[in-house]
Amino acid sequence: MLQRNVEHWLRLRDLPKPVIAMVHGYCLAGATQLCICTDIIFVAEDARIGFPSIPAGAGYVSAFWNWMVGPHRTKYLAFLPGSQISGREAEAMGFATRVFPADKLEEETYSYARRVAKGPAQKLQLEKNTTRSSTLGQAMRRSRRSARNGACEAPFSGTKSSEAGSRPSGRDDYL
């Protein structure tokens, strides 16, 4: 089930047109992964964004967050099931692109989307392809290939899960 969701989200990331997430209310666990696969994430100040309260899908949620906010912040949240942050904190951490007051979120999101839609489609696609080619998509695909081949790599770190008890010296990207 989790692998199938990742496959769907990667297809979303691969769409030729920009995809914008608008988050109000709660955005937890898999919903955060969905957001991370979009191009732009706008959130309400009072949104609640975070990890599941039960330890389900261990590693999948963290892997996505690690790419967005870095290993230290990811672990800070992931180590405590049910960790949540506000929309304002999500922007400060690098998860959200922009934060708006809840009553302005929809207006601001649609205003931005209309301005983007006026741009040349080829330029938008080129911008997406350029940034996507060296970022999250590649890392997620590497993780997916490893899972298919029976290897269980900690996504984004290149560290086999069998090495989980030994931290490589000098590496901050270890999950």
Model confidence over 70-107: pLDDT tens digits? 999 999 999 998 999 999 999 999 999 999 999 999 99
Q: Model's pTM, two decimal places?
A: 0.75
* pLDDT tier, 135 (very low <50, low <70, confident <90, very high otherwise): low
H or E segment at 145?
helix 136-148
Beta bridge partners of 48: 26, 86
Write the CATH number of the domain with boundaries 2-155: 3.90.226.10
* pLDDT tier, 154 (very low <50, low <70, confident <90, very high otherwise): very low
pLDDT digits (tens, 9 = 90+) for 30-81: 899 899 999 999 999 999 999 988 876 567 788 889 888 999 999 999 999 8
Report, as an integer, the average pLDDT of 1-18.
80
Q: Is 43 helix (H, G, I), strand (E, B) or coil?
A: strand
Residue 166, pLDDT score:
35
> Pairing between strand 40-44 and 98-100?
parallel
